[in-house]
Amino acid sequence: MKNIKQVTNLITALSLLAVVIFLLFLAVGFVETTMPNNSYEVKITGLSGLTVNGTATIMVPVPANAEGELVIFEVSGVRQTAGWQAAIRETPYGKMLAFTTTEGYVPDISVSSGEFEKREEPRLLVPVLATHDNTSVEEFSRRSGGTYTTVVFLDGFVPQENATPISFNLRYQGGGGIKHLIKENVWTTTMNATVPSTESGFVPVPAGYHVTPGGSIYDGQDTEPGNSLQHLSSCAVTPLKHR
């Protein structure tokens, strides 16, 4: 009987210890906070075979909230890339990320930026020229996802027949902060489009938007969007009138 009682006491003690360890682990996780992250990747290929006529300019959308307030570049500035000068520029459609060069021949563009931030809110790659069903930018950004029309700009290249098209591959992802064991929403916007190098001016292109809902960190939800965002592509359509 004495041995049985000792075993019972040992089991009880070990059980209490396991409960205490679990509660300590839970408490640490509950107070731990992970800052939300913003990242923006820009890849533009098909430029290396082109000739510049004086000054060449390429402009792409930038991540911003529904009110047009920029993220990343307002705090961290614009990262430079070899062969190009990068800066935020005002356009008839709003702010865009501009790359300019006076070099005769230019390399492809590949640049990424990122930062942690305290503010979590839906973000799109702007400008937004039109949404799928003409809803406001604010309403569209609150949805779980969809497609919309944005714009790129290119000018200053010598037209060449049979030249390789220019490919734009942009990806923004924001949010995903963790507080009290709850992960916030993750907002992902991609723009994958192919534009003939003979185009000049503003060219409308499609973009995809996807929201991965937040929830408990133990739910095991994937923060990557579906394949529909990964394979968005488009040929050039009629350039817009603004130059």
Residues 149 and 64 placed together within one structural domain of the fold? yes
Of the pLDDT bands very low, low, confident and very high (cuts 50, 70, 90), residue 238 is very low
Instruction: Provide the pLDDT for residue 26.
Output: 43
Do 38 and 120 share a domain, yes or no? yes
Phi and psi based region of residue 8 (left: phi greater than 0; alpha: psi -120 to 50; beta: remaining): alpha
> Could you tell me the residue range of the domain that residue 13 belongs to?
1-31
Does 173 or 80 have the greater pLDDT score? 173
Backbone angles phi, psi at 14, to 5 degrees: -65, -40
At residue 70, the 3 state secondary structure works out as: strand
Q: Compute the average pLDDT of residues 29-46.
A: 75
Given a cut of 70, is residue 227 above it in pLDDT? Answer: no
Instruction: Report the percent of the chain where pLDDT is more than 90.
Output: 40
Judge if 17 and 51 occupy the same domain. Answer: no
Which residue did the predictor score with more confidence, 28 or 88? Answer: 88
Q: What is the pLDDT of residues 67-77, one digit of tens each?
A: 888 887 665 56
Length of the chain: 243
| Locus of tokens 């779980």 | 144
Same domain, 140 and 176: yes
Main-chain dihedrals φ then ψ at residue 135, nearest 5 degrees: -80, 165
Q: Tokens representing 100?
A: 């300019």
Instruction: Answer yes or no: do 79 and 178 share one domain.
Output: yes
* Token representation of residue 80: 């430079």
Is position 155 within any domain? yes
Lowest mean pLDDT among 53-67, 81-95, 101-115: 101-115
> 164 and 88 in one domain?
yes
pLDDT tops 80 at residue 161: no
Share of the chain above pLDDT 70, in %: 66
Question: What's the total number of domains in the chain?
Answer: 2
- Do 45 and 160 lie in one domain? The reply is yes
Same-domain status, 110 and 23: no
Domain check: are 61 and 174 in the same one? yes
- Cross-strand partners of 216: 182
Question: Which of 61 and 197 is assigned the larger pLDDT?
Answer: 61
**Which pLDDT belongs to residue 29?**
43
Give pLDDT, residue 172. Answer: 94
Q: Are residues 3 and 44 in the same domain?
A: no
User: Which pLDDT score is estimated for 106?
Assistant: 87
186 and 98 in one domain? yes
Burial class of residue 198 in the structure, from the number of CB atoms within 10 Å of its CB (0-12 exposed, 13-18 middle, 19+ buried): middle
Q: What is the pLDDT of residue 208?
A: 95
Q: Is residue 199 part of a domain?
A: yes
Q: What is the mean pLDDT of residues 24-29?
A: 44
Token pair 């700009």: residue: 153
**Which whole number is the average pLDDT over 85-104?**
93
pLDDT of residue 223: 44
Per the prediction, the chain carries an average pLDDT of 78
Q: What residues pair up with 181 in beta bridges, in sequence order? A: none
- Decide: 100 and 56 in contact? Cβ < 8 Å: yes
Kindly indicate the confidence band of residue 2, based on its pLDDT and cuts at 50, 70 and 90: low
CA-CA distance, 225 to 227, in Å (whole number)?
7
Q: What is the pLDDT, as a whole number, of residue 72?
A: 78
